[in-house]
Amino acid sequence: MIDSVDPRAKAGDLVSVYDKNGTPYGVALYNPKSLISLRIMGRETGQHDGDSFFGARLDQAHRLRVELGVEACTEAYRLVHDYGDGLPGLVIDRYGDVFVLEFYSLGMFHQAARLERLLLARFPGCRVVRRASEYTQKMEGFQIKPGPEMRVRIKENGVTFEVTPSGGYKTGFFCDQRDNRLALSQLVKGKKKVLDVCSYTGGFAVYAKKLGEAEEVTSVELDVDACEQAKKNANINQVRVRVVQADAFNFLRQTAHNADVFDAVVLDPYKLIASREGYAEGRQKYVDFNRLALSCVAPGGLFVTFSCSGMLPMDEFQSFVRAAAGSAGRRVQIFRKSGAGPDHPFATDYPEGEYLKALWCRVY
C-alpha cells in the first residue's frame, strides 16, 4: 500500500506518513525489508522530539499499570506491550530492578540507547537487558550480542520465582499468566491430582501446590533447562512438585493409555499457529493436544486450556476445543473465558494484541 518513499528514508528511520491526498497521517517506524514495512506509532504530525515522544509513552504505560494496581501484587509485569502502548515493535518486561527490552523491529532497536536512558531516568539504578529472537533479528536486519547470564528472584501474589532475563523463552518468564495462575490456585483447593502440561518453569504447578495446596502436582515440560528451573522454583517455595522432562504429546498419549486421570489439567502449549500458512497444521495440533489432554481429566474434573496464537480468535479456538471434545467422547462445559492480565492492553485496531486466550472447563 506504500505508493512512494522519500529517498532519504532509511531502514529503521522514524518517518512521517501521508495519505494518498498528501494529508499528514502520522508517524511510523520504516523498514522496507520487513514483512511490516510501516509500524504506525501515532497520528501526531509535524516535528517530533524523540526524548519527549518516547518518554511520554513510557510514562503513560507506567501510569496505567500503577492505576490498575499491578505493582501492588507483583514485582514482575509488562511495562510496555507493543501496539497496545503505542510503541509497536517493543515489549518491556520488568523483573524488580531489571527491565528486559524485547525488540520486534529494526526501528525500535535503533531507539535502544534512548529507551535505556529514559528508563534509567525514571527508575534510577535499574538494569537493562536487550533481547530479540533469531527470527526477528534476521527478518528485520539487526543483531544483539548475547550478554552475561543474569538471574533475579521476583515475588508474585506471594509466590517466588527465579527468572533468567538473559535466557529462556521470550523475556524469561510469562507475566501474562499471573491472574490465571492465581485463579487456578483457588480452583484446585482440595484436589488430589493436578497436571500442568507445557509448564515451562512451573508457574501453574507451583501455584497449585503452594497456594492451592493440591495433594499431588505434576509438571510436564520438554526443555531440560526449564525443568531444572521448575524444580528450583518448587524448592524456593518449599513445596514438592513432580517434574517430568518429556514431550507433551507422548506423555499425554501414555497417560491416556494407562487410564491415569487427574482432578485438574492445565494445557498451555507454545504458539501453534505462527503464520497464515501454518494455520491448517496448527489447527490440527490444537485439536490433537486438547483431545489427548481431555482424555486425562477425571469425570467432573477441571480443564484449563490456552492458546497464545495471536492470529487465532477466541471463537475459533473454542471450535477447536469443541472438535477435540467430540473426538475424545467427553462433554465439556465452559464456565469462564479469560486472557492476559491488565498489564497487557491491546489496541482496538490491532486485535492480534489480544493473543492469549483461556477456556475454563468442567469435563464429564
The CATH number assigned to the domain holding 347 equals: 3.40.50.150
**Residue 207: inside a domain:** yes
Query: Which of 88, 123, 140 corresponds to the end of one domain?
Result: 140
Cell of 180: 490465571
Residues 215 and 90 occupy one common structural domain:
no
Residues 223 and 351 occupy one common structural domain:
yes
Task: Select from 201, 167, 164, 206 the least CA-distant residue to 184.
Answer: 206
**Residue 153: inside a domain:** no
Beta partners for residue 197, in sequence order: 220, 267
253-282 mean pLDDT: 94
What CATH number is associated with residue 119?
Answer: 3.30.750.80
Report the number of distinct structural domains present in the chain: 2
Residues 180 and 234 occupy one common structural domain:
yes
> 15 with 106: CB under 8 angstroms?
no
Residues 128 and 188 occupy one common structural domain:
no
Query: Which of 140, 162, 182 corresponds to the end of one domain?
Result: 140
Return the pLDDT at 208. 98
User: Is pLDDT at 146 greater than 90 in this prediction?
Assistant: no
pLDDT tier, 285 (very low <50, low <70, confident <90, very high otherwise):
very high
Helices then strands, counting H and E runs in the chain, come out as 10, 16
Averaging pLDDT over each range in 33-47, 195-209, 265-279, 340-354, which range is the top one? 195-209
pLDDT digits (tens, 9 = 90+) for 156-177: 999 999 999 988 888 889 999 9
350 secondary structure, DSSP code: -
Return the pLDDT at 357. 98
**Residue 345: inside a domain:** yes
pLDDT tier, 273 (very low <50, low <70, confident <90, very high otherwise):
very high
Q: Give the β-pairing of 152-156 and 127-131.
A: unpaired
1 vs 363: which has the higher pLDDT:
363
User: Is pLDDT at 35 greater than 90 in this prediction?
Assistant: no
Q: What is the mean pLDDT of the chain?
A: 95
Residues 235 and 311 occupy one common structural domain:
yes
Query: Which of 140, 156, 188 corresponds to the end of one domain?
Result: 140
Share above pLDDT 70 across residues of the chain, in percent, rounded to a whole number: 99
Residues 113 and 181 occupy one common structural domain:
no
**Residue 162: inside a domain:** no
User: Is pLDDT at 48 greater than 80 in this prediction?
Assistant: no
Residues 133 and 178 occupy one common structural domain:
no
**H runs (alpha helix) in 192-351:** 203-210, 224-236, 248-257, 279-294, 314-328
Residues 178 and 325 occupy one common structural domain:
yes
pLDDT digits (tens, 9 = 90+) for 332-343: 999 999 999 999
Cα 247 versus chain centre, distance: 21
**C-alpha to C-alpha distances, 144 to 99, 102, 110, 217, nearest whole angstrom:** 16, 10, 11, 38
Return the pLDDT at 47. 67
Q: Give the β-pairing of 216-221 and 242-245.
A: parallel
Widest distance between CA atoms in the chain: 68
296-322 mean pLDDT: 96
Could you tell me the residue range of the domain that residue 102 belongs to? 50-140
**Residue 60: inside a domain:** yes
Return the pLDDT at 148. 86
Residues 243 and 321 occupy one common structural domain:
yes
Residues 221 and 344 occupy one common structural domain:
yes
**Residue 45: inside a domain:** no
Question: Where is average pLDDT lowest: 35-44, 100-109, 125-134, 156-165?
Answer: 35-44
Letter string b/e over residues 289-319, b meaning 16 or more CB atoms within 10 A of that residue's CB:
bbbbbbbbbbeebbbbbbbbbbbbeeebbbe
